[in-house]
């Protein structure tokens, strides 16, 4: 069992599914049904396989586990090197969980080019999982950039009316950052002569160099997070993307930036990270307050949730750079929680969009009369989004703010205003969509959740409460890896303080 | 037994909430009332065990959040304070559950209502039995959720929805302070466990905390932050605006949540944290001043309101003010004593008001009532009992607790204490006045409702009046029975270590030895208030209009509740809306997008259009870009190899 290349299996199993889908022949609906089934079962199998990572995870060590290392391009010392630690393992699980949910959510909504659509999602899964497992810089870069291709296609082909604009905006923003990251990776290679991430984690890079490298990484990660002011691609991409596209975008792709900060910026460039922390603080606080206010003014449900995502990710970046145990663990929990809560909120929008084909808040009202079950589900995720204790949203936000308060009270104070604004825009939207009298003719015959939709939401609801009430199994896995990260960061902080003192 | 008393309401909420459709209305009511009954009965031996026998304990359920030094477990802490609260919460909740069977008769969503009530009860119990600040916060936000759901229970009414959101948001503002307080406590004490905090609070007295760029006395700052939370939940001046609007919810909800239990959570919190507040004298002074001001302010507004429920709501606000200034002079025991008696008589008043509203076919405006006291004698009597208790007329429950509070304030011999005492005396007269104004307008004089409504006026069914009688018994006897235990000679044995009072803060002990006039003044004020009300509303009914015309400015100032809502709209709500729209259109739209991606995109699209003439389909654009990347990569390598 331990000899199995488990990570490779998880990464490439979706591609096996792609192979089968390509082989499927048949007519119209039968063919589409077969394609959907293959996609679903492949992604489910991948998910089941990935749970082995969690059950077999050794939470007593911060080292990388399930490692695989094969030479890839030996001329440049590039390896096919995989492994997960406490920080990355849940992101693998998040990706493998959301993929079958996406497939199921697109069951009826997608009727054209079903084959290509499902292939795009399975390929996307391969890239996502690969990215979180990669321990070689070039391998990471390939997966990191690779993710963009299927996503770009999903928005551009199956998106809404302004999909081309949105796809290009998405593409431009993210590519611009990536080029700088590539330069940074190469610079590191020329200095340290290796692409191996675990090796680099113990290498100390010169301070001058760290600053430039940090900014180059930041250019790439900040776009992905997204941080203010490079966030404007997100609302457009979400609005135009099909429901499942939004789910992956919010659920996993937004985490790539923050993961980058955790995996590279802080361990590789700790001194620079300390140096630039005030920048991150300011941008994140602006993001939290600014985008929460903007969310208040939205008339489109998806845009509103998209803006709320930016605000939530603001908590994540603050937590990461505050750099103590609670804040970093909190940041990871926020990422995971946001991963399935915002995904679920987009699915909630998708449910009514499939029925009425509108995302405008003003086209709804009084849905609770016809859709009580939907109202309940929506309520659960809304409450998780505003961080009600007992839901997953609370644990993360609470830990982040608790940790940040130890580092800087102003930051905690300002960021905490986000919890007031967050409640304001969510409750207000919920009221306009769900409550009130049902007067609109278009809504008079709307149907409540179908069994398929219940199946989509059930695991997510379970997770919201599990993580909210008993987050121990999650936190337990994080402790060692986060502990090591925090320790290293703390040393860098002390070092730079000494440096500052010596300078005086 | 302990665990059951807390978790049975949760069980009820789950059963009724998810299976209400199968249980039906009757089944749901039976399940919810039955489980609540067991929980309420269990509360009695618990109080006996914990308070009288001294078997306080902490029951650990399972761990919740562990991260670094932070270690929180779900657990139930039972000491006298908790046991008292559990008894009050469960008994009032049971009464309200039963009353609701009659009151909500015919409503299309009875199971949902019962489930919400039970859910609320569970959160409230988690709040009072918390062993650490975070679980306290859990219950705190949980009751907020339940309150939000219940205020907006009739979701077709836009006003109910607005009130629900307002309640949630104003409470969030309070919770913002509460949250920061918790973070600060953890920063200072390295723990959020109550016992750990209490143990090291004396050592931390006088230390400074660097907060928002200022070096401040740590415990003072933290207590004030926590008190902001208490102000939100307990509707104290400044954060009180949600409470009157919350009356949009069904009347049983107002009785349970917005009178007897949830709104007293702030008072409970201050009492619970007495071992910390005791070392923050400035914070205590602030508590006393805010409490006293609220007591007076709310009573003045209560004078002129015309909605029967709003009058009682302002009365609640005012009584909470009393409880706070009692806590502010270190008379926590008196404060909890009043909390307990108030729970009975205020729930009684609300439910009796519900019975009146029921009789008048849903009318809540007192100007359209009157002349029915002979038709609803039982409700009328109960309203009298509740009002007598509220006004502090001797030997009713409120007399014991309210007088104790006023005497403690006087005996504290501090400036805030004196301030609280005199405002409290003033508010006592106002309280008596508005209570009898309510009774006289509602039951006496000529009938002002139309004939149709008058023909339907009837006494409520037994299922509604029986619970009222239970509460009435509490409103009569709770003060007399509780006095010795709560604030009398038995208090040390009763409270044990649930409440800490420094020896130098001996307001309660001294309260037993105040001059006679201090004890008589509140009673005199009560009598004057009642007499004036009779004069104004029965003997010379033209007087109120005349007076209102004479001091029109003052009248409208009071009628509009000191213009708090208008002020907040102008200060916060409107600027936020304006800013939101501006940032979106100007910030995101014109500035960031205009300069950034749209400009660049326009150029790129030109390029792409040219490229797409060669190949169609977007994959190729991307492949093209990737190629450039790969080319760049290879170039770099070769440069590296050669160099």
Residue-wise pLDDT tens digits, B130-163? 999 999 999 999 999 999 999 989 988 888 988 9
Nearest to B164 by CA among B20, B156, B96, B318: B156
Q: Is B180–A329 a contact, with Cβ atoms under 8 angstroms apart?
A: no
Q: Which residue has the higher pLDDT, B11 or A31?
A: B11
Q: Quick count: other Cβ atoms within 10 Å of Cβ B565?
A: 15
- Would you say B76 and B61 are in contact if contact means Cβ atoms under 8 Å apart? yes
Q: pLDDT tens digits, chain A, 504 residues: what are they?
A: 457 888 999 999 999 989 888 888 877 788 888 888 889 999 999 999 999 989 888 888 888 888 888 888 887 888 899 999 989 999 999 999 999 999 998 888 888 888 888 999 999 999 999 999 999 989 999 998 888 888 888 888 888 788 888 877 777 777 777 888 888 888 888 888 888 888 888 888 888 888 889 998 998 899 888 887 888 888 888 888 899 999 999 999 999 999 999 999 998 888 889 888 888 888 898 889 888 888 888 888 999 999 999 999 999 999 999 989 999 999 999 999 999 999 999 999 999 988 888 888 888 888 888 888 999 999 999 999 999 999 999 999 999 999 999 988 888 999 998 888 888 889 988 998 888 888 888 888 888 888 999 999 999 999 999 999 999 999 999 999 999 999 888 888 888 888 777 765
Q: Is B156–A436 a contact, with Cβ atoms under 8 angstroms apart?
A: yes
Q: Give me the sign of the Cα torsion angle A283, A285, A288, A289.
A: negative
Nearest to A396 by CA among A462, A452, A318, A315: A315
Report the C-alpha gap between B537 and B543 in whole angstroms.
Answer: 8
Q: Which residue has the tokens 């309420």?
A: B40
First to last CA, chain A: 58
A405 vs B152, B173, B183: nearest CB: B183
Q: What pLDDT sits at residue B609?
A: 60
Q: pLDDT for B76-90, tens place per residue? A: 999 999 999 999 999
CB contacts, 8 Å: B576 with chain A: 293, 296, 424
Q: Is A173–B597 a contact, with Cβ atoms under 8 angstroms apart?
A: yes
Q: What pLDDT sits at residue A469?
A: 93
Q: Quick count: other Cβ atoms within 10 Å of Cβ A112?
A: 9
E strand or H helix at A233, and its extent? helix A233-240
Q: Which residues pair with B71 in a beta bridge?
A: B66
Report the C-alpha gap between B169 and B144 in whole angstroms.
Answer: 10
The answer to whether position A126 is within a domain reads yes
> Percentages helix, strand, coil for chain A, rounded to the nearest 5?
80, 5, 20
What is the number of residues in chain B? 643
Q: Is A405–B184 a contact, with Cβ atoms under 8 angstroms apart?
A: yes
For residue A6, give both structure tokens: 């488990």
Size of interface A-B (CB pairs under 8 A): 177
Q: What pLDDT sits at residue B450?
A: 82
Report the C-alpha gap between A225 and A256 in whole angstroms.
Answer: 7
Q: What pLDDT sits at residue B642?
A: 47
Report the C-alpha gap between B436 and B452 in whole angstroms.
Answer: 27
Report the C-alpha gap between A94 and A63 in whole angstroms.
Answer: 21
Instruction: Classify strands B214-217 and B208-211 as parallel, antiparallel or unpaired.
Output: antiparallel
Picking from A17-26, A437-446, B228-237, B575-584, which range would have the lowest pLDDT averaged per residue? B575-584
Report the C-alpha gap between A223 and A233 in whole angstroms.
Answer: 9
Report the C-alpha gap between A34 and A41 in whole angstroms.
Answer: 11
Report the C-alpha gap between A62 and B44 in whole angstroms.
Answer: 51
**Secondary structure of residue B552 in the 3-state scheme:** helix
Report the C-alpha gap between A293 and A287 in whole angstroms.
Answer: 10
The answer to whether position A232 is within a domain reads yes
Test mutation, B18, B20, B68, B141, chain A, max A CBs within 10 A: B68
Report pTM.
Answer: 0.90
Report the C-alpha gap between B585 and A227 in whole angstroms.
Answer: 18
The answer to whether position A1 is within a domain reads no
Q: Is A173 on the interface with B (CB under 8 A)?
A: yes
Q: Which residue of B has its CA nearest to A417?
A: B176
Distance from CA of A157 to the nearest CA of B (A): 9
Distance from CA of A4 to the nearest CA of B (A): 32
Q: Is B169–A423 a contact, with Cβ atoms under 8 angstroms apart?
A: yes
Q: Give me the sign of the Cα torsion angle B6, B7, B11, B13.
A: positive
Q: Give me the sign of the Cα torsion angle A326, A328, A332, A335.
A: positive
E strand or H helix at B70, and its extent? strand B70-78
The answer to whether position A143 is within a domain reads yes
Nearest to B103 by CA among B261, B313, B253, B246: B253
Q: Give me the sign of the Cα torsion angle A48, A53, A56, A59.
A: negative
Q: Is A286 on the interface with B (CB under 8 A)?
A: no
Q: How confident is the model at residue B594 (pLDDT cuts 50, 70, 90)?
A: low
For Cα atoms B628, B630, B636, give the angle at the middle one, nearest 5 degrees.
105
Q: Please name the residue ranges forming H helices in A357-408.
A: 367-370, 372-385, 392-407
Q: What pLDDT sits at residue B150?
A: 92
Q: Which residue has the tokens 């990215």?
A: A131
Q: Which residues pair with A149 in a beta bridge?
A: none
Q: Which residue of B has its CA nearest to A412?
A: B180
Q: Which residue of B has its CA nearest to A289?
A: B580
Q: What pLDDT sits at residue B617?
A: 46
A383 vs B145, B179, B601: nearest CB: B145
Query: What are the backbone dihedrals phi and psi of residue A270, each rounded to the nearest 5 degrees, phi first?
Result: -65, -40
Q: Please name the residue ranges forming H helices in B449-596.
A: 451-456, 462-486, 491-495, 507-511, 516-534, 543-550, 552-559, 564-568, 574-582, 594-595
Whole-angstrom CA distances from B493 to B51, B55, B80, B276, B513 are: 8, 12, 10, 21, 21
Instruction: Classify strands A78-84 and A65-73 as parallel, antiparallel or unpaired.
Output: antiparallel
The answer to whether residue B34 scores a pLDDT higher than 50 is: yes
Q: Which residues pair with A389 in a beta bridge?
A: A391
Report the C-alpha gap between B308 and B302 in whole angstroms.
Answer: 10
Q: Is B592–A417 a contact, with Cβ atoms under 8 angstroms apart?
A: no
Question: What domain count does chain A have?
Answer: 1
Distance from CA of B291 to the nearest CA of A (A): 25
Q: Is A232–B596 a contact, with Cβ atoms under 8 angstroms apart?
A: yes
Q: Which residues contact B504 (CB under 8 A, 6 or more apart)?
A: none
Nearest to A272 by CA among A221, A321, A214: A214
Q: Which residues contact B463 (CB under 8 A, 6 or more apart)?
A: B98, B99, B101, B102
E strand or H helix at B64, and its extent? strand B57-67
Distance from CA of A393 to the nearest CA of B (A): 13
Q: Which residues contact A403 (CB under 8 A, 6 or more apart)?
A: A319, A322, A324, A325, A326, A327, A328, A329, A330
A296 vs B67, B134, B580: nearest CB: B580
Picking from A473-477, B528-532, B533-537, which range would have the lowest pLDDT averaged per residue? B533-537
Nearest to B65 by CA among A254, A149, A401, A421: A401
- Would you say A223 and A257 are in contact if contact means Cβ atoms under 8 Å apart? yes
- Would you say A322 and A342 are in contact if contact means Cβ atoms under 8 Å apart? no
Q: Is A192 on the interface with B (CB under 8 A)?
A: no
Report the C-alpha gap between B477 and B481 in whole angstroms.
Answer: 6
Report the C-alpha gap between A185 and B551 in whole angstroms.
Answer: 78
Whole-angstrom CA distances from B310 to A265, A346, B264, B304 are: 57, 40, 18, 10
CB contacts, 8 Å: B137 with chain A: 389
Q: pLDDT for B455-470, tens place per residue? A: 888 888 888 889 999 9
**Cis upstream peptide for A226 (omega within 30°):** yes
**Secondary structure of residue B72 in the 3-state scheme:** strand
Q: Which residue has the tokens 């009464």?
A: B95
Q: Which residues contact B214 (CB under 8 A, 6 or more apart)?
A: none
Q: Give me the sign of the Cα torsion angle B460, B461, B463, B465.
A: positive
Domain that holds residue A433: 6-503
- Would you say B468 and B352 are in contact if contact means Cβ atoms under 8 Å apart? yes
**Cis upstream peptide for A229 (omega within 30°):** yes
The answer to whether position A220 is within a domain reads yes
> Percentages helix, strand, coil for chain B, rounded to the nearest 5?
75, 5, 20
Q: How many CA atoms lie within 13 A of B460 on its CB side?
A: 31
The mean pLDDT value of chain B amounts to 86
**Secondary structure of residue A389 in the 3-state scheme:** strand
CB contacts, 8 Å: A330 with chain B: 67
Give me the residues of A, 395-454, that contact B with CB < 8 A: 395, 398-399, 401-402, 405-406, 409-410, 412-413, 416-417, 419-420, 423-424, 427-428, 431, 434-437
The answer to whether position A397 is within a domain reads yes
B212 vs A172, A297, A409: nearest CB: A409
């Amino acid at each position: 069992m331990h000899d199995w290349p488990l990570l490779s299996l998880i990464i490439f199993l979706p591609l096996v599914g792609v192979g089968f889908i390509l082989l499927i022949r048949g007519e119209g609906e039968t063919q589409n049904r077969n394609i959907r089934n293959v996609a679903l079962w492949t992604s489910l199998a991948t998910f089941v396989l990935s749970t082995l990572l969690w059950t077999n995870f050794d939470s007593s060590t911060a080292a990388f586990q399930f490692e695989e290392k094969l030479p890839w391009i030996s001329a440049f010392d590039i390896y096919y090197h995989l492994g997960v630690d406490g920080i990355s393992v849940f992101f693998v699980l998040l990706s493998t969980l959301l993929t079958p949910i996406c497939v199921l959510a697109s069951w009826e909504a997608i009727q054209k080019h079903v084959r290509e659509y499902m292939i795009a999602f399975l390929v996307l899964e391969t890239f996502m999982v690969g990215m979180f497992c990669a321990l070689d810089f070039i391998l990471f870069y390939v997966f990191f950039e690779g993710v963009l291709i299927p996503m770009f296609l999903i928005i551009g082909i199956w998106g809404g009316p302004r999909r081309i604009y949105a796809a290009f905006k998405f593409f431009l923003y993210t590519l611009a950052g990536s080029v700088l990251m590539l330069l940074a990776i190469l610079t590191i290679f020329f200095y340290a002569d290796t692409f191996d991430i675990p090796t680099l984690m113990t290498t100390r890079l010169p301070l001058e160099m760290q600053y430039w490298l940090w900014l180059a990484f930041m250019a790439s990660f900040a776009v992905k997070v997204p941080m203010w002011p490079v966030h404007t691609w997100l609302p457009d991409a979400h609005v135009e993307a099909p429901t499942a596209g939004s789910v992956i975008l919010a659920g996993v792709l937004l985490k790539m930036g923050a993961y980058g900060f955790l995996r590279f910026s802080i361990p590789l460039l700790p001194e620079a990270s300390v140096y630039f922390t005030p920048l991150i603080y300011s941008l994140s606080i602006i993001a939290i307050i600014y985008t929460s206010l903007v969310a208040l003014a939205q008339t489109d449900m998806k845009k509103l949730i998209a803006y709320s995502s930016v605000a939530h990710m603001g908590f994540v970046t603050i937590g990461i750079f505050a750099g103590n145990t609670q804040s970093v663990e909190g940041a990871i929990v926020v990422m995971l929680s946001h991963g399935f809560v915002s995904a679920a909120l987009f699915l909630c929008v998708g449910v009514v969009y499939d029925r009425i084909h509108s995302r405008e808040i003003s086209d709804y009202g009084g849905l609770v009369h016809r859709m009580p079950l939907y109202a309940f589900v929506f309520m659960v995720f809304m409450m998780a989004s505003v961080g009600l204790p007992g839901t997953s949203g609370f644990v993360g936000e609470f830990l982040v703010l608790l940790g940040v308060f130890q580092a800087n009270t102003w930051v905690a104070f300002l960021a905490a205003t986000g919890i007031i604004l967050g409640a304001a825009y969510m409750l207000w939207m919920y009221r306009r969509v769900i409550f009130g009298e049902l007067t609109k003719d278009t809504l008079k015959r709307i149907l409540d959740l179908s069994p398929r939709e219940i199946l989509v939401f059930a695991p997510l609801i379970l997770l919201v409460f599990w993580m909210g009430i008993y987050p121990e199994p999650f936190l337990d896995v994080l402790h060692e890896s986060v502990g090591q990260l925090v320790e290293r960061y703390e040393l860098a902080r002390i070092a730079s303080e000494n440096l500052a003192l010596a300078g005086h | 037994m302990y665990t059951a008393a807390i978790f049975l309401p949760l069980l009820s909420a789950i059963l009724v909430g998810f299976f209400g459709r199968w249980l039906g209305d009757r089944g749901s009511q039976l399940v919810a009332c039955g489980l609540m009954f067991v929980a309420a009965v269990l509360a009695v031996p618990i109080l006996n065990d914990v308070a009288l026998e001294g078997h306080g304990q902490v029951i650990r359920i399972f761990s919740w959040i562990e991260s670094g030094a932070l270690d929180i477990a779900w657990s139930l802490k039972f000491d006298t304070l908790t046991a008292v609260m559990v008894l009050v919460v469960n008994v009032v909740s049971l009464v309200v559950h039963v009353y609701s069977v009659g009151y909500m008769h015919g409503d299309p969503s009875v199971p949902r209502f019962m489930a919400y009530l039970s859910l609320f009860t569970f959160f409230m119990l988690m709040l009072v039995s918390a062993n650490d600040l975070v679980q306290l916060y859990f219950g705190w936000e949980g009751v907020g959720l339940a309150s939000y759901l219940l205020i907006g229970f009739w979701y077709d009414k836009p006003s109910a929805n607005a009130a629900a959101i307002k309640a949630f948001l104003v409470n969030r503002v309070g919770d913002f302070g509460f949250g920061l307080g918790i973070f600060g406590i953890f920063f200072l004490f390295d723990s959020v466990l109550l016992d750990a905090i209490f143990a090291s609070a004396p050592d931390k007295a006088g230390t400074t905390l660097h907060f928002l760029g200022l070096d401040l006395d740590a415990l003072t700052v933290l207590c004030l932050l926590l008190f902001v939370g208490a102000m939100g939940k307990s509707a104290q001046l400044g954060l009180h605006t949600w409470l009157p609007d919350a009356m949009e919810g069904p009347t049983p909800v107002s009785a349970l949540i917005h009178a007897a239990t949830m709104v007293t959570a702030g008072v409970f919190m201050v009492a619970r944290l007495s071992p910390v507040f005791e070392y923050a004298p400035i914070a205590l002074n602030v508590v006393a001043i805010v409490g006293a001001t609220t007591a007076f302010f709310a009573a003045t507004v209560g004078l002129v309101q015309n909605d029967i429920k709003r009058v009682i709501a302002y009365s609640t606000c005012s009584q909470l003010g009393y409880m706070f200034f009692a806590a502010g002079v270190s008379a926590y025991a008196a404060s909890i004593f009043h909390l307990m008696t108030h729970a009975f008589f205020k729930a009684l008043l609300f439910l009796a008001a519900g019975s009146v509203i029921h009789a008048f076919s849903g009318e809540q405006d007192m100007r359209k009532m009157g002349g029915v006291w002979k038709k609803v004698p039982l409700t009328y009597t109960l309203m009298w009992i509740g009002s007598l208790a509220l006004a502090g007329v001797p030997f009713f429950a409120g007399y014991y607790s309210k007088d104790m509070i006023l005497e403690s304030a006087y005996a504290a011999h501090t400036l805030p204490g004196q301030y609280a005492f005199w405002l409290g005396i003033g508010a006592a007269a106002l309280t008596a006045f508005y209570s009898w104004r309510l009774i006289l307008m509602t039951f006496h004089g000529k009938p002002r409702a139309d004939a149709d409504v008058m023909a339907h006026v009837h006494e409520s069914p037994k299922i509604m009046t029986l619970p009222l009688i239970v509460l009435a018994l509490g409103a009569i006897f709770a003060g007399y029975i509780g006095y010795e235990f709560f604030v009398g000679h038995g208090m040390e044995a009763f409270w044990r270590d649930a409440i800490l009072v420094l020896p130098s803060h001996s307001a309660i002990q001294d309260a037993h030895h105040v001059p006679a006039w201090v004890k008589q003044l509140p009673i005199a004020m009560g009598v004057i208030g009642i007499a004036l009300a009779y004069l104004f509303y029965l003997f010379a009914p033209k007087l109120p209009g005349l007076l209102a015309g004479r001091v029109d400015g003052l009248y409208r100032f009071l009628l509009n509740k000191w213009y708090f809502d208008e002020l907040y709209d102008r200060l916060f709500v409107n600027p936020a809306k304006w800013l939101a729209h501006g940032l979106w259109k100007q910030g995101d739209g014109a500035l960031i997008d205009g300069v950034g991606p749209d400009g660049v995109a326009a150029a790129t699209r030109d390029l792409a259009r040219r490229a797409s003439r060669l190949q169609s389909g977007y994959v190729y654009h991307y492949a093209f870009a990737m190629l450039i990347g790969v080319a760049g990569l290879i170039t770099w390598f070769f440069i590296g190899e050669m160099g």
